[in-house]
Structure 1
Amino acid sequence: MMKSSILLIISFFIFNLGGFLEAQKTPAIYVFGDSLVDVGNNNYLSLSLVKATLPHYGIDFPTKKPTGRFSNGKNAADLIAEKVGLTTSPPYLSLVSKFNNKKNVSFLGGVNFASGGAGIFNGNDVSFRQAISLTKQVDYYTQVHEQLTQQVGASTLQKHLSKSIFGIVIGSNDIFGYYNSMDLQKKNTPQQYADSMVSSLKIQLQRLYNNGARKFEIIGVSTIGCVPALRLKNKTECFLEANLMSIKYNEGLQSMLKELKLENKDLSYSYFDTYGALQDLIQNPISYGFADVKDACCGLGELNAQFLCTPISVVCANRQNHIFWDQFHPTEAASRTIVDKLYNGPSKYTSPINLQQLLAL
């Protein structure tokens, strides 16, 4: 009786382990970007003015507490991890803290380098005092690559990285920076600035490729002129100039990715048209279960967007029917809808393939 019980337990464990391994579609996710995918890096930046550490951030997160995510709950990094059967990649600075304290740390399971306020350009974060620019994020990844090479060897590491996903969500803060700076507008036309963003991003993507990255999930810039903070610039309607800049940048980004693929034959990527997907949500909210496309859920003043989300802010009762959580960021509900399209959406939003197809390569 005892023997049969033990065999049953072992069989159950093997069966469930097999199911877990089948659900895990990639060995790791390495995330680079801004506050849309920051899972807590900025909490470790002592001078940063951009931190999601106060209530009501995290109000719908499983812990019900602020975690450094700029959302009422989970963000896109969490939701993409769910889709591929992984836990969320931890913030890089939390791992470094443990590593420096001689604790057992592995970077093989994925790392999140994203930082609220970060941009493609260095120095874009001046108004926020401190953020980890994309260049610095890639610098950190290069250090991780060196450490992993020493730990597991170059051949084993390359096999691991070639199957991993490298997610890039960046560019919005650069566009915000352009429209907040008369100096930048005098020195660059919108097209020149967008082209410069694209060429700068290409350098960083090539650096990642040179350090093992082969599968890229690239997220285009959304209709950022429609976030509550920018609607205030245009009497509650979308700020057209910012949206036009987003379009210019996204067009250049798609052309650049095709060039990058031609220059690096074994590179694969999925580009996601966040602009089109979010515009669809805004124009057809009811079909997605949303009711409010303009107001921030957490804030004060007109559109609930004249002030930051703080403990004294007004918070909407139903976070499920709002697209925007605060002045700039989507609710978990909106992020989940977007990630669904990113994962297995049609060619209308994903090119040349979607994330599910990228994982299968």
Structure 2
Amino acid sequence: MVSRTVMKSSLLFLCFFIFFTLQLLEAQKPPAVYVFGDSLVDVGNNNYLPFSVEKAILPHYGIDFPTKKPTGRFTNGKNAADLIAEKLGLPTSPPYLSLLSKVHNSNKNMSFVSGVNFASGGAGIFNASDKGFMQSIPLQKQVDYYSQVHETLRQQVGASSLEKHLSKSIFIVVIGGNDIFGYFDSKDLQKKNTPQQYAVSMASTLKLQLQRLYNNGAKKFEVAGVGPIGCCPAYRLKNKTECVSAANDLSAKYNEALQTMLKEWQLEKRDISYSYFDTYAALQDLIYNSTSYGACCGLGELNAQIPCLPISSICSNRQDHVFWDAFHPTEAASRIFVDEIFKGPSKFISPINMEQLLAI
């Protein structure tokens, strides 16, 4: 039999272990998350753009969200921005335009200290990726908004406190897919740029915006590459259900240019840390191991001939689908991606994972 002394010692050790583990997790929790990007991480900003047609406001969007209602997220439930916040033990960073609306309505200063989401469905690295500024908030404008937030925070908490706060915060950047869609939708862009030239231009333009974030206090970055764009249901539909290789090739070229840029930028700025998520490899892995590569919500071949409208059919096994609609992943797929962002494996996340980024 185990003696009471041994049992007490074991329980005492367990209590100390739990206590110190919780202390460590709390110490690694960032004070805020600032999100920039497109529909993969938009949590409702486009709902506040009166002329935008890029809105996830129809049933069946949000069918698996806690409220069971559309929220402006382009998926069936939570997206990657929500799930990262969930992993960190933080509330989801609210959409910037919702906070701006509250400021205007109440005439009071709104605190942005707990994080803000600037992402916008349809947004690109290039300003004209959505064929009209009224439909989304391009990355340059998102960073403009952040600059305004930075100035407000500086006035509220002081320069020294803000510098420390932002140095521990996480800056998430998920963008680029719409620029690739834009390239293949534009004969003019294709005439003026080879795929390689376009990919390098995307990466160098993104660097300008990352530098602006750095100039305003950002030090820790989680940056996602683009997925195999040619394998989304909308593109498969154009190619007799096969992935479009040209779109995938451009995606791969951009991801390579992005990684090179990040490595060189870190050599220039020794005080930044970044984690790069290889969305291409992670999504490709899911697609190749899935029995269904069509959309969960839609109509026609691959459920992608007609968008996810109220009249559309929806699959019941949403946990088994990679794609929710013709372009966006399901919550289940996003959960897998976020798990990989936090813990690896290294073939999907480099040079460090999110947990290692937090510990710096």
Scaled by the length of structure 1, the TM-score of the pair is 0.91
* Aligned length in residues: 339
User: How far apart, CA to CA, are the structure 1 residues paired with 2:108 and 2:235?
Assistant: 44
* Pick aligned residue for 1:123 from 117, 124, 128: 128
Task: Tell me, yes or no, if the aligned pair for 1:42 and 1:51 is still in contact at 8 Å.
Answer: yes
Task: Tell me, yes or no, if the aligned pair for 2:298 and 2:308 is still in contact at 8 Å.
Answer: yes
Provide the residue aligned with 1:90 in structure 2: 94
Q: Please state how far the C-alpha of 1:60 moved relative to its aligned partner.
A: 0.3
Provide the residue aligned with 1:67 in structure 2: 71
Unaligned runs of 5+ residues in structure 2 are: 1-18
Task: Tell me, yes or no, if the aligned pair for 2:129 and 2:182 is still in contact at 8 Å.
Answer: yes
- 1:82-231 residue pairs with structure 2 within 5 A? 82-101=86-105, 102-103=107-108, 105-126=110-131, 129-231=134-236
Deviating beyond 6 angstroms after TM superposition, the runs of 4 or more aligned structure 1 residues are 18-21
Which one-letter code corresponds to 1:307 in the other structure?
A: I
Which one-letter code corresponds to 2:288 in the other structure?
A: Q
User: How far apart, CA to CA, are the structure 2 residues paired with 1:210 and 1:58?
Assistant: 37
- 1:1-361 residue pairs with structure 2 within 5 A? 22=26, 25-101=29-105, 102-103=107-108, 105-126=110-131, 129-285=134-290, 291-292=291-292, 294-361=293-360
User: How far apart, CA to CA, are the structure 1 residues paired with 2:23 and 2:122?
Assistant: 39
Q: Please state how far the C-alpha of 1:105 moved relative to its aligned partner.
A: 2.2
Which one-letter code corresponds to 1:183 in the other structure?
A: D
User: How far apart, CA to CA, are the structure 2 residues paired with 1:140 and 1:129?
Assistant: 15
Task: Tell me, yes or no, if the aligned pair for 2:28 and 2:358 is still in contact at 8 Å.
Answer: no
User: How far apart, CA to CA, are the structure 1 residues paired with 2:94 and 2:122?
Assistant: 18
Deviates more, 1:311-320 or 1:21-30: 21-30
Which one-letter code corresponds to 2:305 in the other structure?
A: Q
Q: Please state how far the C-alpha of 1:318 moved relative to its aligned partner.
A: 1.2
User: How far apart, CA to CA, are the structure 1 residues paired with 2:332 and 2:27?
Assistant: 23
User: Deviation digits for residues 196-238 of structure 1, max 9, x if unmatched?
Assistant: 1011000000000000000000001011111000101211011
User: How far apart, CA to CA, are the structure 2 residues paired with 1:357 and 1:83?
Assistant: 14
2:306 is paired with a residue whose SS is: coil
Task: Tell me, yes or no, if the aligned pair for 2:62 and 2:76 is still in contact at 8 Å.
Answer: yes
Q: Please state how far the C-alpha of 1:183 moved relative to its aligned partner.
A: 1.0
1:31 is paired with a residue whose SS is: strand
Task: Tell me, yes or no, if the aligned pair for 2:143 and 2:209 is still in contact at 8 Å.
Answer: yes
Task: Tell me, yes or no, if the aligned pair for 1:23 and 1:84 is still in contact at 8 Å.
Answer: no
The 1:157–1:67 alpha-carbon spacing in structure 2 relative to 1, beyond 3 Å, is: same
User: Deviation digits for residues 230-262 of structure 1, max 9, x if unmatched?
Assistant: 101211011111100010000000000011101
User: How far apart, CA to CA, are the structure 1 residues paired with 2:331 and 2:133?
Assistant: 24
Seq. identity, %: 73
User: How far apart, CA to CA, are the structure 1 residues paired with 2:131 and 2:51?
Assistant: 11
The 1:19–1:264 alpha-carbon spacing in structure 2 relative to 1, beyond 3 Å, is: closer
Q: Please state how far the C-alpha of 1:22 moved relative to its aligned partner.
A: 2.2
User: Deviation digits for residues 160-197 of structure 1, max 9, x if unmatched?
Assistant: 00000000000000000000111111111100111110
User: How far apart, CA to CA, are the structure 2 residues paired with 1:20 and 1:48?
Assistant: 44
User: How far apart, CA to CA, are the structure 1 residues paired with 2:296 and 2:60?
Assistant: 10
Which one-letter code corresponds to 2:358 in the other structure?
A: L
User: How far apart, CA to CA, are the structure 1 residues paired with 2:85 and 2:221?
Assistant: 14
Unaligned runs of 5+ residues in structure 1 are: 1-14, 286-290
2:294 is paired with a residue whose SS is: strand
Task: Tell me, yes or no, if the aligned pair for 2:56 and 2:74 is still in contact at 8 Å.
Answer: yes
The 1:193–1:108 alpha-carbon spacing in structure 2 relative to 1, beyond 3 Å, is: same
Provide the residue aligned with 2:11 in structure 1: none
User: How far apart, CA to CA, are the structure 2 residues paired with 1:38 and 1:54?
Assistant: 15
1:86 is paired with a residue whose SS is: coil
Task: Tell me, yes or no, if the aligned pair for 1:48 and 1:128 is still in contact at 8 Å.
Answer: no
User: How far apart, CA to CA, are the structure 2 residues paired with 1:69 and 1:103?
Assistant: 28
RMSD: 1.5
User: How far apart, CA to CA, are the structure 1 residues paired with 2:131 and 2:282?
Assistant: 30
User: How far apart, CA to CA, are the structure 2 residues paired with 1:69 and 1:264?
Assistant: 34
User: How far apart, CA to CA, are the structure 2 residues paired with 1:223 and 1:260?
Assistant: 25
